[in-house]
Amino acid sequence: MSLKVIQPGLSTSIQDLGRPGYFHLGIPIGGAMDRFALRVANMLVGNPEGAAGLEVVFMGPTLTFEKDVLVAVTGADLPPKVDGVVQDGWAAFEVKAGQTLSFDFLKSGARAYIAISGGIDTPPALGSRSTYPIGALGGIEGRNIQAGDVIPLGEADMIEPGLSVPANLRRLPGKPAELRVLPGLYWHRLTPAAQEGFFADDWAVALEADRMGYRFKGGKPLEFVAREQPFGAGADPSNIVDGCYSYGSIQVPGGLEPIVLHRDAVSGGGYFTLGAIISADMDLIGQLQPHTPVNFRKVDMAEALAARAERKTLLAAVRAHLG
Protein backbone atom coordinates (compact mmCIF):
# COMPACT_ATOMS: atom_id res chain seq x y z
CA MET A 1 0.00 0.00 0.00
CA SER A 2 1.55 3.28 -1.03
CA LEU A 3 1.11 6.73 -2.46
CA LYS A 4 2.90 8.14 -5.47
CA VAL A 5 4.39 11.62 -5.71
CA ILE A 6 3.50 13.28 -9.03
CA GLN A 7 4.71 16.76 -8.01
CA PRO A 8 6.53 17.32 -4.70
CA GLY A 9 5.51 20.94 -4.02
CA LEU A 10 8.10 23.45 -2.89
CA SER A 11 9.58 21.71 0.13
CA THR A 12 7.50 18.78 1.36
CA SER A 13 8.91 16.49 4.01
CA ILE A 14 7.83 13.45 5.99
CA GLN A 15 7.47 14.43 9.66
CA ASP A 16 6.14 12.91 12.85
CA LEU A 17 6.63 14.19 16.41
CA GLY A 18 10.41 13.84 16.19
CA ARG A 19 13.37 12.00 17.72
CA PRO A 20 14.18 13.24 21.23
CA GLY A 21 17.34 11.96 22.91
CA TYR A 22 20.17 12.82 20.51
CA PHE A 23 20.53 16.59 20.88
CA HIS A 24 23.71 16.05 22.92
CA LEU A 25 25.27 14.71 19.71
CA GLY A 26 23.98 17.53 17.54
CA ILE A 27 20.97 15.63 16.21
CA PRO A 28 17.86 17.74 16.85
CA ILE A 29 14.38 16.56 17.77
CA GLY A 30 12.95 17.52 14.37
CA GLY A 31 9.34 16.62 13.67
CA ALA A 32 6.40 18.79 12.62
CA MET A 33 7.03 22.50 13.18
CA ASP A 34 3.31 22.85 14.04
CA ARG A 35 2.86 19.79 16.24
CA PHE A 36 -0.74 20.65 17.13
CA ALA A 37 -1.74 20.68 13.46
CA LEU A 38 -0.09 17.30 12.78
CA ARG A 39 -1.76 15.75 15.84
CA VAL A 40 -5.19 17.01 14.77
CA ALA A 41 -4.74 15.85 11.16
CA ASN A 42 -3.90 12.36 12.42
CA MET A 43 -6.90 12.31 14.77
CA LEU A 44 -9.22 13.22 11.90
CA VAL A 45 -8.23 10.15 9.89
CA GLY A 46 -8.12 7.76 12.84
CA ASN A 47 -4.32 7.55 13.19
CA PRO A 48 -2.32 7.71 16.40
CA GLU A 49 -1.48 11.41 16.97
CA GLY A 50 2.21 10.83 16.37
CA ALA A 51 1.89 9.03 13.03
CA ALA A 52 4.07 10.37 10.22
CA GLY A 53 2.45 12.71 7.72
CA LEU A 54 3.60 15.29 5.18
CA GLU A 55 4.67 18.81 6.13
CA VAL A 56 3.99 21.11 3.19
CA VAL A 57 5.56 24.56 2.88
CA PHE A 58 3.67 27.28 0.90
CA MET A 59 2.86 25.05 -2.12
CA GLY A 60 1.17 21.66 -2.02
CA PRO A 61 2.23 18.42 -3.72
CA THR A 62 0.25 16.33 -6.21
CA LEU A 63 -0.27 12.77 -5.02
CA THR A 64 -2.07 9.63 -6.17
CA PHE A 65 -3.01 6.60 -4.09
CA GLU A 66 -2.95 2.87 -4.71
CA LYS A 67 -5.96 2.20 -2.47
CA ASP A 68 -8.85 4.15 -0.98
CA VAL A 69 -7.62 6.34 1.88
CA LEU A 70 -8.87 8.99 4.26
CA VAL A 71 -7.01 12.29 4.17
CA ALA A 72 -7.07 15.39 6.36
CA VAL A 73 -5.22 18.67 5.82
CA THR A 74 -4.67 21.03 8.77
CA GLY A 75 -2.43 23.95 9.69
CA ALA A 76 -2.08 26.56 6.94
CA ASP A 77 -5.13 27.35 4.78
CA LEU A 78 -4.02 25.42 1.69
CA PRO A 79 -7.24 24.08 0.13
CA PRO A 80 -7.00 20.39 -0.85
CA LYS A 81 -8.62 19.14 -4.07
CA VAL A 82 -9.63 15.61 -5.07
CA ASP A 83 -9.67 15.28 -8.87
CA GLY A 84 -9.98 19.07 -8.92
CA VAL A 85 -12.87 19.33 -6.44
CA VAL A 86 -12.03 21.51 -3.44
CA GLN A 87 -12.37 19.87 -0.02
CA ASP A 88 -12.56 21.42 3.44
CA GLY A 89 -9.46 21.88 5.52
CA TRP A 90 -9.43 20.55 9.11
CA ALA A 91 -11.78 17.74 7.97
CA ALA A 92 -11.46 14.11 6.87
CA PHE A 93 -12.32 13.30 3.26
CA GLU A 94 -11.94 10.22 1.10
CA VAL A 95 -9.52 9.84 -1.80
CA LYS A 96 -10.25 6.73 -3.83
CA ALA A 97 -7.68 4.54 -5.51
CA GLY A 98 -6.48 6.25 -8.69
CA GLN A 99 -7.80 9.71 -7.72
CA THR A 100 -5.45 12.67 -7.51
CA LEU A 101 -4.93 14.84 -4.43
CA SER A 102 -3.66 18.32 -5.28
CA PHE A 103 -3.83 21.78 -3.72
CA ASP A 104 -5.06 25.25 -4.45
CA PHE A 105 -2.97 28.34 -3.66
CA LEU A 106 -2.01 29.13 -0.07
CA LYS A 107 -4.48 31.53 1.57
CA SER A 108 -2.91 31.95 5.01
CA GLY A 109 -0.32 30.38 7.26
CA ALA A 110 2.86 28.74 6.00
CA ARG A 111 2.77 24.99 6.66
CA ALA A 112 -0.02 22.51 6.01
CA TYR A 113 -0.05 18.97 7.36
CA ILE A 114 -1.38 16.05 5.38
CA ALA A 115 -2.40 12.99 7.36
CA ILE A 116 -3.32 9.81 5.50
CA SER A 117 -5.12 6.89 7.12
CA GLY A 118 -2.56 4.30 8.15
CA GLY A 119 0.18 6.93 8.32
CA ILE A 120 3.40 7.06 6.32
CA ASP A 121 5.40 3.90 6.92
CA THR A 122 8.96 4.67 5.81
CA PRO A 123 11.70 3.07 7.95
CA PRO A 124 12.31 5.01 11.18
CA ALA A 125 15.79 6.38 11.89
CA LEU A 126 16.71 6.74 15.60
CA GLY A 127 13.08 6.10 16.47
CA SER A 128 11.45 8.61 14.14
CA ARG A 129 10.41 8.96 10.50
CA SER A 130 11.02 12.73 10.58
CA THR A 131 13.21 14.02 7.77
CA TYR A 132 16.45 15.71 8.86
CA PRO A 133 18.27 16.55 5.60
CA ILE A 134 21.44 17.92 7.22
CA GLY A 135 22.12 14.56 8.82
CA ALA A 136 20.51 12.57 5.97
CA LEU A 137 18.17 10.94 8.51
CA GLY A 138 14.54 9.80 8.23
CA GLY A 139 12.08 10.47 5.42
CA ILE A 140 13.14 8.93 2.15
CA GLU A 141 16.94 8.68 2.05
CA GLY A 142 17.04 11.57 4.52
CA ARG A 143 15.65 14.10 2.01
CA ASN A 144 12.46 15.93 1.10
CA ILE A 145 10.03 14.06 -1.18
CA GLN A 146 10.52 14.31 -4.94
CA ALA A 147 8.54 13.45 -8.07
CA GLY A 148 8.39 9.73 -8.69
CA ASP A 149 8.76 8.71 -5.03
CA VAL A 150 6.55 5.83 -3.96
CA ILE A 151 5.86 6.25 -0.25
CA PRO A 152 4.70 3.25 1.79
CA LEU A 153 1.59 3.62 3.95
CA GLY A 154 0.63 1.66 7.05
CA GLU A 155 -2.40 -0.58 7.36
CA ALA A 156 -5.49 1.30 8.47
CA ASP A 157 -8.88 0.51 9.91
CA MET A 158 -10.91 2.82 7.72
CA ILE A 159 -13.12 5.10 9.76
CA GLU A 160 -15.96 7.09 8.22
CA PRO A 161 -15.04 10.39 6.53
CA GLY A 162 -16.72 13.57 7.68
CA LEU A 163 -15.06 14.37 11.00
CA SER A 164 -14.05 18.02 11.23
CA VAL A 165 -12.65 20.52 13.69
CA PRO A 166 -14.54 23.82 14.12
CA ALA A 167 -12.70 27.12 13.81
CA ASN A 168 -12.70 27.77 17.56
CA LEU A 169 -10.62 24.63 18.09
CA ARG A 170 -7.98 25.54 15.50
CA ARG A 171 -4.95 27.70 16.12
CA LEU A 172 -3.21 30.12 13.78
CA PRO A 173 -1.15 33.23 14.55
CA GLY A 174 -2.81 36.66 14.61
CA LYS A 175 -1.68 39.72 12.66
CA PRO A 176 0.68 41.03 13.79
CA ALA A 177 1.76 37.74 15.27
CA GLU A 178 2.65 37.81 18.94
CA LEU A 179 5.39 35.51 20.18
CA ARG A 180 5.87 35.26 23.93
CA VAL A 181 9.43 35.20 25.27
CA LEU A 182 10.81 34.16 28.63
CA PRO A 183 13.99 36.25 29.10
CA GLY A 184 16.95 34.20 30.37
CA LEU A 185 20.14 32.44 29.17
CA TYR A 186 22.43 35.42 28.32
CA TRP A 187 19.79 38.14 28.79
CA HIS A 188 22.21 39.96 31.12
CA ARG A 189 24.50 40.67 28.17
CA LEU A 190 22.06 43.31 26.86
CA THR A 191 21.89 46.87 28.15
CA PRO A 192 18.58 47.86 29.80
CA ALA A 193 17.77 50.01 26.73
CA ALA A 194 18.35 47.05 24.40
CA GLN A 195 16.25 44.78 26.64
CA GLU A 196 13.40 47.25 26.41
CA GLY A 197 13.89 47.92 22.70
CA PHE A 198 13.73 44.26 21.74
CA PHE A 199 10.18 44.03 23.09
CA ALA A 200 9.09 47.50 22.00
CA ASP A 201 10.26 47.28 18.39
CA ASP A 202 8.22 46.03 15.43
CA TRP A 203 9.83 43.02 13.74
CA ALA A 204 9.01 41.05 10.61
CA VAL A 205 9.88 37.53 9.47
CA ALA A 206 12.92 37.62 7.16
CA LEU A 207 13.37 35.46 4.05
CA GLU A 208 15.74 33.12 5.92
CA ALA A 209 13.03 31.17 7.74
CA ASP A 210 13.12 27.41 7.76
CA ARG A 211 12.97 24.33 9.96
CA MET A 212 16.30 25.16 11.55
CA GLY A 213 15.48 28.71 12.50
CA TYR A 214 13.42 31.80 11.81
CA ARG A 215 15.21 35.10 11.29
CA PHE A 216 13.56 38.46 12.08
CA LYS A 217 14.42 41.97 10.97
CA GLY A 218 13.21 45.53 11.38
CA GLY A 219 14.09 46.27 15.00
CA LYS A 220 16.94 48.42 16.25
CA PRO A 221 20.40 46.85 16.72
CA LEU A 222 20.87 45.56 20.27
CA GLU A 223 23.60 47.02 22.45
CA PHE A 224 25.67 44.92 24.79
CA VAL A 225 26.91 45.56 28.28
CA ALA A 226 30.60 46.44 27.87
CA ARG A 227 33.03 43.79 29.08
CA GLU A 228 36.38 42.26 28.35
CA GLN A 229 35.46 39.14 26.37
CA PRO A 230 36.08 35.92 28.33
CA PHE A 231 38.88 33.62 27.14
CA GLY A 232 37.72 31.38 24.30
CA ALA A 233 34.58 33.36 23.46
CA GLY A 234 35.74 35.34 20.45
CA ALA A 235 36.04 39.07 20.02
CA ASP A 236 32.51 40.12 19.10
CA PRO A 237 30.37 41.22 22.07
CA SER A 238 27.64 38.82 20.87
CA ASN A 239 30.06 35.87 21.18
CA ILE A 240 30.16 33.43 24.10
CA VAL A 241 32.22 30.30 24.75
CA ASP A 242 30.28 27.85 22.56
CA GLY A 243 27.44 26.39 24.59
CA CYS A 244 24.16 24.53 24.11
CA TYR A 245 21.19 26.14 22.43
CA SER A 246 17.65 25.67 23.73
CA TYR A 247 14.81 24.97 21.29
CA GLY A 248 13.11 28.31 20.77
CA SER A 249 16.16 30.24 21.97
CA ILE A 250 16.75 33.63 20.38
CA GLN A 251 20.29 34.41 19.24
CA VAL A 252 21.23 37.77 17.80
CA PRO A 253 24.58 37.56 15.95
CA GLY A 254 26.27 40.95 16.10
CA GLY A 255 23.16 42.29 17.88
CA LEU A 256 21.46 42.74 14.49
CA GLU A 257 18.86 40.14 13.43
CA PRO A 258 17.28 37.79 15.98
CA ILE A 259 17.12 34.11 14.98
CA VAL A 260 14.71 31.76 16.76
CA LEU A 261 15.92 28.16 16.65
CA HIS A 262 13.18 25.68 15.77
CA ARG A 263 12.74 21.88 15.48
CA ASP A 264 15.87 21.26 13.33
CA ALA A 265 17.97 23.55 15.54
CA VAL A 266 21.73 23.45 15.65
CA SER A 267 22.46 22.13 19.14
CA GLY A 268 25.04 24.67 20.16
CA GLY A 269 27.29 27.47 19.11
CA GLY A 270 29.05 30.65 20.04
CA TYR A 271 26.32 33.30 19.96
CA PHE A 272 24.63 34.73 23.05
CA THR A 273 20.91 34.02 23.40
CA LEU A 274 18.57 36.44 25.13
CA GLY A 275 15.92 33.93 26.19
CA ALA A 276 13.52 31.58 24.47
CA ILE A 277 10.09 31.53 22.89
CA ILE A 278 7.78 29.73 25.32
CA SER A 279 6.83 26.16 24.38
CA ALA A 280 3.18 27.14 23.87
CA ASP A 281 4.09 29.46 20.97
CA MET A 282 6.56 27.26 19.08
CA ASP A 283 3.82 25.83 16.82
CA LEU A 284 2.81 29.34 15.74
CA ILE A 285 6.25 30.14 14.34
CA GLY A 286 5.88 27.39 11.74
CA GLN A 287 2.83 29.23 10.38
CA LEU A 288 4.58 32.57 9.80
CA GLN A 289 5.25 33.64 6.22
CA PRO A 290 8.17 35.92 5.37
CA HIS A 291 7.33 39.62 5.90
CA THR A 292 4.70 38.82 8.57
CA PRO A 293 4.83 41.54 11.25
CA VAL A 294 5.77 40.14 14.65
CA ASN A 295 5.94 41.49 18.17
CA PHE A 296 7.81 39.76 20.94
CA ARG A 297 6.08 39.93 24.32
CA LYS A 298 7.89 39.45 27.61
CA VAL A 299 6.37 36.90 29.99
CA ASP A 300 7.43 35.28 33.25
CA MET A 301 7.55 31.55 34.02
CA ALA A 302 4.03 31.54 35.54
CA GLU A 303 2.58 32.98 32.31
CA ALA A 304 4.61 30.51 30.22
CA LEU A 305 3.20 27.58 32.19
CA ALA A 306 -0.34 28.97 32.05
CA ALA A 307 -0.05 29.29 28.25
CA ARG A 308 1.26 25.72 28.08
CA ALA A 309 -1.73 24.51 30.13
CA GLU A 310 -4.05 26.40 27.76
CA ARG A 311 -2.54 24.55 24.79
CA LYS A 312 -3.11 21.23 26.53
CA THR A 313 -6.71 22.18 27.23
CA LEU A 314 -7.23 23.01 23.55
CA LEU A 315 -5.78 19.66 22.48
CA ALA A 316 -8.01 17.89 25.02
CA ALA A 317 -11.03 19.74 23.63
CA VAL A 318 -10.18 18.57 20.09
CA ARG A 319 -9.82 15.00 21.34
CA ALA A 320 -13.17 15.24 23.11
CA HIS A 321 -14.83 16.78 20.05
CA LEU A 322 -13.56 14.02 17.77
CA GLY A 323 -14.54 11.41 20.36
Partner 1 sequence: MKTRYTYGGDEHIYVEMDDEMSLDAFFKSLSMSNAVRDAKIKGVTEICPANASFQVRFDPDVISPDEMMKKVKELEHRAEDAEKRLKTRIIEIPVYYQDPWTHETLMRFRERHQDPSGTDLDYAARINGFDSVEAFIEAHHSQPWFVSMVGFVAGLPFLYQLVEREKQLQVPKYLRPRTDTPKLTVGYGGCFSCIYSVRGAGGYQMFGVTPMPIFDPEQKQSYLSDFMVFFKPGDIVKWKPIDRAEYDRILAEVEADTYVPRIAEVDFDLDAFNADMPGTNAKLMEALNVA
Q: Which amino acid is located at 17 in the chain?
A: L
Task: Pick the closer one to partner 1 by CB: 159 or 206.
Answer: 206
Whether the CB-CB separation of 267 and 156 falls below 8 Å is answered with: no
Task: Pick the closer one to partner 1 by CB: 101 or 263.
Answer: 263
Task: Pick the closer one to partner 1 by CB: 67 or 143.
Answer: 143
Task: Pick the closer one to partner 1 by CB: 135 or 154.
Answer: 135
CB of 256 to partner 1, least distance (A): 10
Sheet holding 85-86: strands in order across?
85-86, 80-82, 100-103, 62-65, 2-7, 150-152
CB of 249 to partner 1, least distance (A): 6
C-alpha distances in Å from residue 93, one per residue of 36, 146, 190: 20, 24, 51
Task: Pick the closer one to partner 1 by CB: 102 or 251.
Answer: 251
CB of 91 to partner 1, least distance (A): 29
Read off the DSSP letter of residue 232.
Answer: T
Instruction: By CB under 8 A, name the binding residues for partner 1.
Output: 20-21, 23-27, 125, 134-137, 142, 182, 184-185, 187, 230-236, 239-249, 253, 266-270, 273, 275-279, 301, 304-305, 308, 312
Whether the CB-CB separation of 130 and 16 falls below 8 Å is answered with: yes
Whether the CB-CB separation of 42 and 119 falls below 8 Å is answered with: yes
CB of 282 to partner 1, least distance (A): 9
CB of 217 to partner 1, least distance (A): 15
Q: Which amino acid is located at 283 in the chain?
A: D
